[in-house]
Amino acid sequence: MADTILILGNGFDIAMGRKTKYEEFIEFTNDLSSRKKYIVNFRKFIKPYKKIKLSNYKDNLYLKFINENKDNLGENWSNLEIMISNLADAIMYFKENSNDLFNHNVNESDKDYLRRLKNKLRRTNNAIAKIFVVEKFYEFNSTKNWNLLQRDDALEKLNTEFINQLDLLIELLEIYLSYIDFLDFKVNKIKPSPTALDAVNGLSRSYVLNFNYTNTLGRLFHSFKERTHFIHGQINLGRPIGQINTMVFGIEDKEVNVNSDLIPYQKYYQRVVKETGNKFEEFFIKRNYTVKNTSVVGRAVPTRVPVSKNIVIFGHSVDSLDKEIFQKSFALAEEGGYPYRFIFTYFDEPAKRSIIKNLAIILGKEKLIELTGKQNVVFVKSDDKDGMKEVLLP
């Protein structure tokens, strides 16, 4: 029987009926000061965690940016990673064009100059994020006395403020997901929902590359933790004081050279600092064998042959944010010396088109055509159990 490597994204948790979408998290953060029943229950859940002070998470800059500009941000308004990227890019723009922020030789800005600057920025790319950063800069310039600093120092303070706010956003996301874990597994005791994965024999014995912070597969299908790599870390609200939060939540590394201003936002840097490692590579390198009878001069001779690997991607958009991991996975499978097949599941046709587009960016168009032609890459609807059975390597 073939080995199975599962690559899981948030779509897996959603398919299991879990409220792990970014918009659900954002709704939760907006309701934190309300008396809604689920918030009242949340406050009871969080009370034993004495180290957590919810006041620390009030007016988070990233959430404020989304809430203030939701109507103008388009369909990606709730994609926190895109919003983080836009704001980081806006900060870098002003670090490279610092004169735009200042009225000639004066560190303070009058309302008329600010209005003209905003009008100028509206005609540029990423205008909404740039205008938000400008507004926050001048707010902090006044409230935190940054106007007394050298310009470069004030801009460094701005960057540090957004980095600190990102850390707080990650902490708040961990709190939310921990509460969802409590509701789903302790209160509601949810059961697995049917998906195409039901066709995979021995699902609990699979090797798992998990992009999620939650262990939904382990909770519902009793997969083995030692066979699971939480590549972006895992929620652990009860960890001892001083132990690092391992959750990786940031943006793509777009540059060849290291940008010291940007690296705290970037996933690769966070993976290094939080030591999430590359354990998943072992899943592709590890080669198991079986014995098959081969006909040699009319006689059946037992022969040791490598076991096939089915690499099933479920609930992941294959976004370029994670391109390095997918590129490494494809390279290791190709070098592995065993028959392999990447099986990408998709929710609907637009999702399938998006996955194909992202694969073309990650692998190159010609390589993708080659792999689909050889059936090393195939696509199955996420609820099609029979379709999954047909494409699984034996």
User: Residue 353 pLDDT > 80, yes or no?
Assistant: yes
CB contact set of 167 (below 8 Å; sequence gap of 6+): none
Q: Give me 51's structure tokens.
A: 């180290």
Q: Give me 125's structure tokens.
A: 């790319």
Query: What CATH class is the domain 3-16+190-231+277-391?
Result: alpha beta
| Run of H or E residues at 120 | helix 111-121
| pLDDT computed for residue 258 by the predictor | 61
| pLDDT computed for residue 255 by the predictor | 61
What is the band of 1 on the pLDDT scale with cuts at 50, 70, 90?
A: confident
User: What are the DSSP E strand ranges found in the chain?
Assistant: 3-8, 207-210, 228-230, 289-296, 299-306, 309-314, 340-346, 377-381
Q: What is the pLDDT of residues 17-31, one digit of tens each?
A: 999 999 999 999 999
CA–CA dist 275, 272 (Å, integer): 5
| pLDDT computed for residue 362 by the predictor | 96
CA–CA dist 131, 94 (Å, integer): 11
Least confident of 55-59, 81-85, 299-303, 390-394: 299-303
Which parts of 205-310 fold into alpha helices (H)?
216-221, 267-273, 280-285
Residue type at position 190? I
Length, in residues, of the chain: 394
User: Residue 72 pLDDT > 70, yes or no?
Assistant: yes
Distances, alpha carbon 171 to alpha carbons 9, 51, 137, in Å = 20, 12, 24
CA–CA dist 315, 293 (Å, integer): 38
Of the candidates 137, 17, 22, 153, the one whose C-alpha atom is nearest the C-alpha of residue 84 is 22
CB contact set of 218 (below 8 Å; sequence gap of 6+): 224, 225, 228
| pLDDT computed for residue 77 by the predictor | 78
Q: What is the mean pLDDT of residues 48-72?
A: 93
CB contact set of 389 (below 8 Å; sequence gap of 6+): 199
User: What are the DSSP E strand ranges found in 153-298?
Assistant: 207-210, 228-230, 289-296
Other Cβ atoms within 10 Å of 167 Cβ, number: 13
Percent of the chain exceeding pLDDT 70 equals 96
| pLDDT computed for residue 111 by the predictor | 79
* DSSP classification of residue 103: B
User: Residue 197 pLDDT > 70, yes or no?
Assistant: yes
Q: What is the mean pLDDT of residues 147-155?
A: 89
| pLDDT computed for residue 254 by the predictor | 67
User: Residue 318 pLDDT > 90, yes or no?
Assistant: yes
Least confident of 103-112, 161-170, 268-277, 319-328: 103-112
What is the band of 305 on the pLDDT scale with cuts at 50, 70, 90?
A: confident
Q: What is the pLDDT of residues 105-138, one digit of tens each?
A: 555 557 788 899 999 999 999 999 999 999 999 9
Cβ pair 221, 201 in contact under 8 A:
no
Torsion-angle region of residue 103: left (phi > 0), alpha (psi -120 to 50) or beta? beta
* Strongest mean pLDDT among 38-52, 132-146, 185-199, 281-295: 185-199
Rounded to the nearest integer, the mean pLDDT of the chain is 92
pTM for this model (two decimals): 0.93
Would you kindly state where each structural domain of the chain is located, as residue ranges?
A: 3-16+190-231+277-391, 22-170
Other Cβ atoms within 10 Å of 253 Cβ, number: 18
| pLDDT computed for residue 303 by the predictor | 77
How many CA atoms, within 13 angstroms, populate the side-chain half-sphere of residue 355? 25
DSSP SS3 for 348 = coil
Q: What is the pLDDT of residues 205-254, one digit of tens each?
A: 999 999 999 999 999 999 999 999 999 999 999 888 788 999 999 888 76
| pLDDT computed for residue 104 by the predictor | 61
Q: Give me 7's structure tokens.
A: 């690559």
Beta strands at 309-314 and 207-210: parallel, antiparallel or unpaired: unpaired
User: Residue 3 pLDDT > 80, yes or no?
Assistant: yes
Q: What is the mean pLDDT of residues 316-326?
A: 93
Q: What is the mean pLDDT of residues 162-174?
A: 97
| pLDDT computed for residue 287 by the predictor | 86
User: Residue 144 pLDDT > 90, yes or no?
Assistant: yes
Q: What is the mean pLDDT of residues 83-92?
A: 95
Q: What is the mean pLDDT of residues 356-360?
A: 98
